[in-house]
Amino acid sequence: MRTTPFYPRLRELNHSHMWGNWAGYLSATKYDLSSKHEYFGVRNAAGFFDTSPLNKYWIRGRDAERLCSYAFARDIRPVRPGRAQYTLWCDDAGFVMEDGVVFRTAGDEFLLTAAEPNLGYLRGLARAFDAEIVEATEDFASLAVQGPRSRDILAQLTPDVVDLPYFGFAETKVAGSQVLCSRTGFSGDLGFELFIPADQALPVLDAIIEAGTPHGLRPYGEEALNMTRIEAGLPLFGYEFTSSRYAFTHEERFTPDELGLGWTLRGLDDPTRPFIGREAILAERAGAEARWRTVGITMTWRDYYDLHASNGLLAIPDEVPVPWEVMIYDAEGSRIGYATSFMYSPILQRHVGIARVRPSHAEPGSEVFVEQTVNHEYVNVRALVTTLPFYNPPRKVAAR
Amino acid sequence: MSDTHAYDAIVIGAGHNGLTHAAYLAKAGRRVLVLEQRHLVGGAAITEELRPGFKFTTFSYALSLLRPEIIAELDLVSHGFMPLYMRSHFAPMDNGDYLLLGPDAGVNRQEIARHCKADVDGMERFEHDTLRVRQFLRPLFDNAPPNLFSADPQDAEQVAWLVKHLGSADAKLMHDCVRLITGSIADFVDDYLESEIIKATICSAACVGIKLGPMSPGTGLNWLYLAMGEHDGIAGSWAFHKGGNGGFTEVLARAATASGAEIRLNSRVDHLITEQGQAVGVALADGTEFRAPVVVSSLDPRRTFLQIADPRELPADLVQTIQRFRFQGVASKVNFALDGLPRYPALEGRTDQYLGFVNVAPTVEYMERAYDAAKYGWYSEHPYLDASIQSMIDPDMAPPGKHVMSCFVMYTPHELKGASWPAHREAMADRVQATLRRFFPGFDDLVLQREVVTPDIIEERTGLSEGNIYAGEFFPHQMYVFRPAPGYSDYRTPIRGYYQCGSGTHPGGCVIGAPGRLASMRVLADTR
Tens of pLDDT, residues B22-60 = 999 999 999 999 999 999 999 999 999 999 999 999 999
- Indicate if B41 and B80 belong to the same structural domain: yes
Select the more confidently predicted residue: A258 or B235.
A258
Q: How confident is the model at residue B64 (pLDDT cuts 50, 70, 90)?
A: confident
Last residue of a domain, one of A199, A220, A241: A220
What mean pLDDT is reported for chain A? Answer: 96
Position B180 pLDDT exceeds 60:
yes
Residue of A nearest to B108 (CA): A24
Is residue B28 one of the residues assigned to a domain? yes
Give the start-end residues of each E strand in B142-293: 239-241, 262-264, 269-275, 278-284, 289-291
Each residue's pLDDT tens digit, A213-254: 999 999 999 999 999 999 999 999 999 999 999 999 999 999
How high is the pLDDT of residue B230?
74
Claim to verify: residue B131 and residue B64 sit in the same structural domain: no
Residues of B in contact with A117 (CB under 8 A): 109, 113, 117, 120-121, 124
pLDDT greater than 80 at residue B234: no
The pLDDT of residue B232 is above 80: no
**B1: confidence class by pLDDT, cuts 50, 70, 90:** very low
Q: Which of B526, B525, B523, B521 is nearest to B73 (CA)?
A: B521
Same domain assignment for residues B18 and B70 = yes
Q: Could you tell me if residue A44 is inside a domain?
A: yes
Instruction: Give bridge partners of residue A344 from the DSSP assignment.
Output: A351
Residue A29 belongs to some domain of the structure = yes
Indicate if B314 and B401 belong to the same structural domain. no
> Do B421 and B362 share a domain, yes or no?
yes
Total count of domains within chain A: 2
> B113, A246: Cβ pair inside 8 Å?
no
Domains in chain B, number: 3
pLDDT tens-digit map of A364-381: 999 999 999 999 999 999
Beta carbons of A25 and B108 less than 8 Å apart:
no
Q: Which of A220, A241, A266 is the last residue in one of the domains?
A: A220
Q: Which among B383, B399, B280 is positioned nearest to B338, based on CA atoms?
A: B399
Residues of A in contact with B107 (CB under 8 A): 1-2, 21, 24
Strand B403-410 and strand B331-338: pairing? antiparallel
Long-range contacts of B212-216 (CB under 8 A, 24+ apart): B212/B371, B213/B367, B213/B368, B213/B370, B213/B371, B213/B372, B214/B184, B214/B185, B214/B186, B214/B364, B214/B367, B214/B368, B214/B371, B215/B184, B215/B186, B215/B187, B215/B364, B215/B368, B216/B184, B216/B371
* CA–CA gap between residue B206 and residue B90 (Å, rounded): 16
Residue A392 included in any domain: no
ipTM: 0.89
Its domain, for residue B205, covers 117-231
pLDDT > 50? residue B99: yes
Facing B121 at nearest CB: one of A2, A24, A118: A118
Of the candidates B454, B185, B485, the one whose C-alpha atom is nearest the C-alpha of residue B319 is B485
Residue A298: which CATH number? 2.40.30.110
Does B352 lie in the same domain as B298?
no
Q: How confident is the model at residue A16 (pLDDT cuts 50, 70, 90)?
A: very high
CATH (domain of B485): 3.50.50.60
Instruction: Chain B: give the shortest CA distance to residue A136, in Å.
Output: 10
Among A1, A2, A52, the residue to mutate for chain B (most B Cβ within 10 A): A2
Which residues, listed in sequence order, are joined to residue B297 by a DSSP beta bridge?
B12, B500
Q: Which of B272, B185, B258 is nearest to B224 (CA)?
A: B185
Q: Which of helix, strand or coil describes residue B127?
A: helix
Of B209, B231, B253, which residue constitutes the final position of a domain?
B231
B93 assigned to some structural domain:
no
Helix, strand, coil: what percent of chain B each, to 5?
Answer: 45, 20, 40
Single out the residue in B231, B260, B295 at which a domain terminates. B231
Question: Which chain A residues are within 8 Å of B109, Cβ to Cβ?
Answer: 23-24, 117
Question: Is A363 a residue whose pLDDT tops 60?
Answer: yes
Where residue A182 sits, what CATH number does that domain have?
A: 3.30.1360.120
pLDDT for B152? 85
Question: What would the pLDDT profile of B378-413 be if each residue is shown by its tens digit?
Answer: 999 999 999 999 999 999 999 999 999 999 999 999
Q: Domain ends where: B205, B231, B257? A: B231
pLDDT of residue B5: 65
Same domain, B142 and B170: yes
Contact B125 A117 (CB under 8 A): no
Name the pairing type of β-strands B32-35 and B262-264: parallel
Cis bond leading into B507, ω under 30°? yes
pLDDT in tens, A118-152: 999 999 999 999 999 999 999 999 999 999 999 99
pLDDT (tens digit, 9 = 90+) per residue, B108-162? 999 999 999 999 999 999 999 999 999 999 999 999 999 888 888 888 999 999 9
CB pair distance less than 8 Å for B117 and A117 = yes
Residue at A271 is within a domain = no
B201 shares its domain with B268 = no
Interface test with B, best of A135, A138, A242 (most B CBs within 10 A): A135
Phi-psi label, residue B224: left if phi above 0, alpha if psi -120 to 50, beta otherwise: alpha
3-state secondary structure B200-235: HHHHHHHCCCCCCCCCCCCHHHHHHHHHCCCHHHCC
Residues A33 and A152 in one domain: yes
In a domain, B92, yes or no: no
Q: Is residue A126 domain-resident?
A: no
A119 with B120: Cβ contact below 8 A: yes
pLDDT digits (tens, 9 = 90+) for A91-105: 999 999 999 999 999
The per-residue pLDDT for range B481-498, each reduced to its tens digit, is 999 999 999 999 999 999
Classify residue A346: in a domain, yes or no. Answer: yes
Residue B54 within any structural domain of the chain: no
Q: Is the pLDDT of residue B299 over 90?
A: yes
Q: Are residues A18 and A146 in the same domain?
A: yes
Same structural domain, B128 and B188: yes
Task: Kindly list the strands in the beta sheet with B403-410, ordered across the sheet, starting from the edge strand earlier in the chain.
Answer: B98-101, B89-92, B357-360, B384-389, B403-410, B331-338, B447-453
- For residue B528, pLDDT beyond 90: no
**How many whole angstroms separate alpha carbon A369 and alpha carbon B526?**
55
Q: Is residue A42 domain-shared with residue A153, that is, in the same domain?
A: yes
**Residue positions counted in chain A:** 400
Question: What is the model's pLDDT at position B436?
Answer: 98
Q: What local confidence, expressed as pLDDT, does residue B154 receive? A: 84
Q: Whole domain around residue A44: which residue ranges? A: 7-55+138-220
> In this model, does residue B368 exceed pLDDT 90?
yes
Chain B residues with beta carbon closer than 8 angstroms to that of A112: none
Same domain assignment for residues B444 and B511: no
Mean pLDDT of all residues in chain B?
A: 95
* Residue B184 within a domain: yes
For an interface test with A, the pick among B101, B120, B125 (most A C-beta atoms closer than 10 Å) comes out as B120
Q: Determine the Cα angle at A359 with ends A357 and A361, to 5°.
A: 65
Q: Which of A160, A155, A171 is nearest to A211 (CA)?
A: A155
pLDDT of amino acid B255: 98
pLDDT at B3 over 60: no
Closest CA to A387 of A187, A232, A281: A232
The phi and psi torsions of B268 (rounded to 5 degrees) equal -80, 120
Facing B132 at nearest CB: one of A123, A137, A248: A248
Q: Do A2 and B104 touch (CB under 8 A)?
A: no
Give me the sign of the Cα torsion angle A375, A376, A377, A381: positive
**Cβ of A245 and B128 within 8 Å?**
yes
> What percent of chain B is predicted at pLDDT more than 90?
94
Q: What is the pTM of this model?
A: 0.93
Would the CB atoms of B106 and A119 count as touching at under 8 Å? no
Residue A61 in domain: no
Cα A10 off chain centre by: 22
Domain boundary among A163, A191, A220: A220
Residue B391 lies in a domain: yes
Instruction: Examine residue B461 and state whether it is found in any structural domain, yes or no.
Output: no
Chain A hits for B176, CB-CB cut-off 8 Å, are none
> Cα–Cα distance between B500 and B519 in angstroms, integer?
7
Do A216 and A297 lie in one domain? The reply is no
Is it the case that residue B4 has pLDDT exceeding 60?
A: no
Same domain, A46 and A143: yes
Q: Give pLDDT, residue A388.
A: 97
Query: Which one of A22, A119, A246 has the shortest CB-CB distance to B117?
Result: A119
pLDDT above 70: percentage of residues in chain B: 98
> Which of A137, A246, A248 minimises the CB distance to B124?
A246
pLDDT digit string (tens) for B343-355? 999 999 999 999 9
Considering the domain architecture, whether residues A159 and A299 belong to the same structural domain is answered as no
Q: Does the pLDDT of residue A57 top 60, yes or no?
A: yes
Domain assignment present for B97: no
Beta bridge partners of A338: A327, A356
Q: A359 to chain B, minimum CA–CA distance in Å? A: 29
How much is the pLDDT for B229? 80
Interchain proximity B121–A120, CB inside 8 Å: yes
How far apart, in whole angstroms, are the C-alpha atoms of residue A71 and residue A195? Answer: 24
Q: Are residues B181 and B264 in the same domain?
A: no
Residues in chain A closer than 8 A to B104 (CB atoms)? 21, 24
| CB-CB under 8 Å, A120 with B118 | yes
Does residue B519 sit in the same domain as residue B441? no
